A and B are shown apart, each in its own frame.
Chain A
Amino acid sequence: MSKLILCLLVAAFAWGQDARQIVEEVQRRSRSGSEHYEGSLEVVNARGKITAKRWLYDRIGSHGNSKAVLRFTAPPEVKGVALLIVNHPDRASDQWMWTPALERDRRIALQDRRTRFFGTDFSFEDLEERDVGQYDYSLLGEEMAGGAACWKIESRPKQSKSSQYDRSILWVRKDRYVFWRIENYLKDRLVRRATYGDLQEVQSIWTARTVEMADLRENSRTILKLEKLEYNVPMKDEGFTLQALRRESR
């Protein structure tokens, strides 16, 4: 009896701890020194119209303390536009944008992080690296999802963290420690749903090569595909500065 009680106590303790540990483990397993891919993005609006974009993505540094450069390559109207993103572990990222037609950079103010990321269904907040420490987690249970066993975890932003969402439900594949789905709620209404697909192991890191974000209020969705993905590519820190952004985008 006492063993049973002990087991139940341990299980209850573990149940509360597991949720955070699971998310931390997801983050740990996806960690890499750098990353490079060619991204393609399709926005399908409520009327079925598709808008496509392509870009090159380079990241240096580890999770929460990284720098990234995103250079648009298509369509022609946006070719040459580049973004420099500097992520911080304790605050929102800093972002600058280079527009070749104006030959100038501009700081992108992300005070209102609800803003859609350049017409896609991702908000700027959705694209930020989630800092595990700024959320409370609770394990809701386990269920089969996307053909695999998943943990179902609820995350709520801590008081100190401002977020457009009240809570999110995360599905984490038990076999690979990667997200299968994230559902974001606002006032108990599901507003955005991200689904991760085409799971592949790239240089020992299990990565979803496709992310589909659906905006359920706008009835539109955005499909992001990661092509030619490489991790731990040699990169120099100088390549992630405003000067480099200006220089290389000319």
Chain B
Amino acid sequence: MILLRLLSWPYLRKHVLRWSLTVAGIVMGVGLLVAMHSANQAVLASFGTTVGRIAGAAELQISAGDFGFDEEVLERVQAAPEVRVAVPVVEAVADTGIKGQGNLLILGVDMTGDRSLRDYDLESGDQAIIDDPLVFLAQPDSLMVAKEFAERNHLEIDSRIPLQTAHGTKYFTIRGIMRSGGLGKAFGGNLAVMDVYAAQKVFGRGRRFDRIDVGVKEGVPVEQCRAALARALGPGFDIAPPSASREHFEAMLSAYSMSMNVSSMFALIIGMFIIYNSFAIAVTQRRPEIGILRALGATRAQVRMLFLGEAAVAGTIGSLLGIGAGALMARGIAMYVGGFTSQIYGVKQALDEVAIDPRIIVAGLLLGIATSLLAAWIPARSAARVDPVQALQKGKYQVLSAGEGSLRRRAAALAAILSAVCLWLGRSNLVFYAGYALAVLTALLLAPMVALWVTRMIRPALRWLRPVEGALAADSLIQSPRRTSATVSALMLSIAMVVGFGGVSASIYLSVTEWIEKTLNPDLYVEASEWLASYSWTLPGTAGADIERVEGVEQAQMVRSARTLYHGVPVMVVAIEVAKLAQKVHSRPIAGDSREMYKLTAAGQGAMISDSFAGLRGVGLGDTLELGTPSGMLRLPVVGIRRDFSDQQGTVLIDRSVYQRWWKDDRTNIIRVYLKPGADPAVVKARILERFAGQRVFVLFNKEVRQYILRVTDQWFAMTYTQAGIAILIAVLGIVNTLTVSITDRRRELGVLQAVGGLRRQIRHTVWIEAVTIGLVGVVLGLAFGALNLYYTLEMTRRTFAGIALDYTYPGPLAGLLALLVLGAALVASLGPAEQAVRGSLVEALEYE
């Protein structure tokens, strides 16, 4: 503690900028981790809270994916002796049309039994006609809203509000206002309750329910009731506690969460290198100080503890600031992620608040300190080993010893061999990820040596470019590889990460574009919702025939797509008129005979699956696919595997007739419309809208659907790119740090240069070239390691995220842009240190050391 106060504090005060930069590395790493984790948790918690509040006292919920099920299921559930109460639910998100209020989550319930499951906690009971459920049931325009919503919109009992329904905009009467808390706070207060049968009618659900909420009879274990219902209903139903919805949502988000975690960890590792760099430099600079300390009797352990103590302090400060920054960023990120998940997954949730979990605060703090200590461990150990005599011989320490280089090479070779073995044997994800970690370790071990080779290789070019400044800059880097190696490593990792993610996104873009070209080729799409991720809005089964009667329409293909559970994971089932599809779509299958698979699927004798489904669910060609339906277990052989990006968790394509038979439903949510040659899409669109006047129908041009899909793909990668940007920023901070130290370190050398006639301009150029060279070496290493990292990232995507084997496409344009960006950033980063180098007092510089 005394050493910290007497030695570290004055050093820290003298190098505030460098310490700030060092701490900034931790701030960003920890901040990003805390922000991403908190945002993800907030979105999940918001979803979970909405589910929980809506579920009320329900102990079990029965659903059949997004498809819903026939009303008759209710009686079978109510007949179970283990069931105390079973109430049907229809849920819909409807636009209120009220400015600034967005969507309202409508909960359609049966008020005759529902109040034993949900407490509506009604406001002003004497006015609320909802106290008389008969009126509420008798009037299908009855609505009960949450107090927050009512207050925001100055609504009271008997006020009327517009809502988008299946039959256009209709007005509803407020017949009850729920107090704050509980149900009234679900979906951020934007919640309304209406009669379930009225909801069926106004949202065009036919005689189907989305869900049944169940209260278990007193004294009966919930599991016993669940088992009894499973026996009574068969395999097509998911019977689970309300909390299971959160798990399904979590499963859907898992790929996104994992990619966020991976890039957060990358950011932290990059931050670690910055810390290592700073401490390595600090040890170098303070060698005389350390020598004196050792000469005065300080033990090696005391010296080591001094540096580790500094690292702990830096780690603590950085982590605390990081947690604060993370908390500030979390809400914005959560809003983004929330909006994004709603758009992609059609999930009903509204962000309430972003609470920072105390556990992530502790984890962030520990991680920040641990990272800092880990990064400072080698410099601290080096400091402890300083020989008091050698300590006065400046500069030599920066050189990598031959022994150290050899040890590194051997370690790198071993890591590389192990990595290759892991890749070769890497059937299990654990071995694969171990191999990935070893590959990163190999790159890190080799980085200083390769950086040295690259610098030596480009020295002639630099000398040719600027005989004096170029040679000086290159020599400075060659003589002090330790000073720059950490920065180069950080840059290498950052660039490799961006190349990896960029490569994956480029491959996905290519595949998505190809899929769009070959599969999404109708001229028009007719939908019941303008929100393409919504599967609950539907059109009647007669809509296809109606559209085919419109002048200019050649063919209409009815599609019913929605998510359903496959082995506990939500996957997409697409039911389409396959015979018609085969006439219009000619994409090459990944597995299976193209003609045969369409023929068998159209005949209801098989199903086609997406490659993502095959990869993630371990199902192959010829396997029997088992899908739970309301009519029992549907078993179909897999007759083809095709590329399909409809859903990230995988898609199953069946014929519409199979869906109608097994799901007992003939509705459709998308109609693919092909026009006759020469027909004007805009004119036909107008005709379709005219035919469906008064109904909720949206007609989209092919271009609009394509744009939507590409926009969603962009959104998917946007957050990753932001993280990659931050990683680059951290690496650039490293360059500034390195240069600042380099200048301080070489003050005497630069002073001598000036004293013997070196021009300020030349000094500036030297620093600039040095910076750009560091950047260039980092870029070369980063782009090279990026090529390997891209392979691992693609494999990671296949194994964990998407299940699809994407083509290896090196993102050339991105690499070029990245190189320019880093070199430009390096140059900008050098401006300050360069000025510092030329503006200092010559006398002081010559007196330095």
Residues of A participating in the B interface, judged by any CB pair closer than 8 Å: 43, 45, 47, 49, 51, 53, 72, 75, 77-78, 80-81, 97, 99-102, 104, 106-112, 114-115, 118-119
Closest to A83 in B: B134
Q: Provided the pairs A45-B125, A109-B110 are in contact, do residues A101 and B138 lie with their beta carbons within 8 angstroms? A: yes
Among the interface residues A49, A75, A112, which one has the most CB atoms of the partner chain B within 10 A? A112
- What would be 9 A-B contacts, judged by CB atoms less than 8 Å apart? A47-B125, A81-B134, A97-B137, A101-B138, A106-B110, A109-B74, A109-B87, A111-B113, A118-B132
Distance between Cα atoms of A106 and B126 in the complex (Å): 28
- Within 747-771 of B, Cβ neighbours of A (below 8 Å) are at none
Distance between Cα atoms of A75 and B198 in the complex (Å): 20
Q: Is the CB of A112 within 8 A of B140?
A: no
Distance between Cα atoms of A78 and B74 in the complex (Å): 26
Q: Is the CB of A49 within 8 A of B126?
A: yes
Q: Is the CB of B135 within 8 A of A77?
A: yes
Indicate whether B605 reaches chain A with its CB closer than 8 angstroms.
no
Q: A102: which B residues are within 8 A, CB to CB?
A: 140, 197-198, 201
Q: Is the CB of A77 within 8 A of B139?
A: yes
Q: B138: which A residues are within 8 A, CB to CB?
A: 72, 77-78, 80-81, 99-101
Distance between Cα atoms of A99 and B131 in the complex (Å): 18
Indicate whether B169 reaches chain A with its CB closer than 8 angstroms.
no
Q: Which 8 A-B pairs have the closest CB atoms?
A: A119-B132, A118-B134, A112-B116, A112-B85, A78-B138, A77-B135, A81-B138, A111-B85
Q: A111: which B residues are within 8 A, CB to CB?
A: 78, 83-86, 113
Q: Is the CB of B125 within 8 A of A119?
A: no
CB distance from B143 to the nearest CB of A (A): 14
Q: Is the CB of A115 within 8 A of B113?
A: yes
- Chain B interface residue bracket vs A: 20 to 34
Distance between Cα atoms of A14 and B738 in the complex (Å): 106
Indicate whether B151 reaches chain A with its CB closer than 8 angstroms.
no
Indicate whether B112 reaches chain A with its CB closer than 8 angstroms.
yes
Among the interface residues A80, A81, A115, which one has the most CB atoms of the partner chain B within 10 A? A115
CB distance from A250 to the nearest CB of B (A): 15
Q: Is the CB of A119 within 8 A of B112?
A: no
Distance between Cα atoms of A8 and B190 in the complex (Å): 71
Q: Is the CB of B113 within 8 A of A109?
A: yes
Distance between Cα atoms of A21 and B135 in the complex (Å): 41
Q: Provided the pairs A107-B75, A112-B116, A115-B115 are in contact, do residues A81 and B137 lie with their beta carbons within 8 angstroms? A: yes
Closest to B137 in A: A99
Q: B85: which A residues are within 8 A, CB to CB?
A: 109, 111-112
Distance between Cα atoms of A73 and B113 in the complex (Å): 24
Q: A45-B131, A107-B74 are in contact. List 10 more A-B contacts (CB 8 A).
A: A43-B132, A72-B134, A77-B135, A81-B137, A101-B139, A106-B110, A106-B197, A109-B112, A114-B116, A119-B132
Instruction: Name B135's contact: one of A78, A100, A110 (CB within 8 Å).
Output: A78
Q: Is the CB of A45 within 8 A of B126?
A: yes
CB distance from A162 to the nearest CB of B (A): 9
Q: A43: which B residues are within 8 A, CB to CB?
A: 132
Indicate whether B694 reaches chain A with its CB closer than 8 angstroms.
no
Q: A78: which B residues are within 8 A, CB to CB?
A: 134-135, 138
Distance between Cα atoms of A100 and B139 in the complex (Å): 9
Distance between Cα atoms of A102 and B196 in the complex (Å): 11
Instruction: Name A112's contact: one of B84, B126, B137 (CB within 8 Å).
Output: B84
Q: Is the CB of B116 within 8 A of A53?
A: no
Distance between Cα atoms of A112 and B84 in the complex (Å): 7
- Within 100-125 of B, Cβ neighbours of A (below 8 Å) are at 110, 112-113, 115-116, 125
Distance between Cα atoms of A95 and B134 in the complex (Å): 14
- Within 561-603 of B, Cβ neighbours of A (below 8 Å) are at none
Distance between Cα atoms of A104 and B197 in the complex (Å): 9
Closest to A47 in B: B126
Indicate whether B467 reaches chain A with its CB closer than 8 angstroms.
no
Q: B134: which A residues are within 8 A, CB to CB?
A: 53, 72, 78, 81, 118-119
Closest to B115 in A: A115
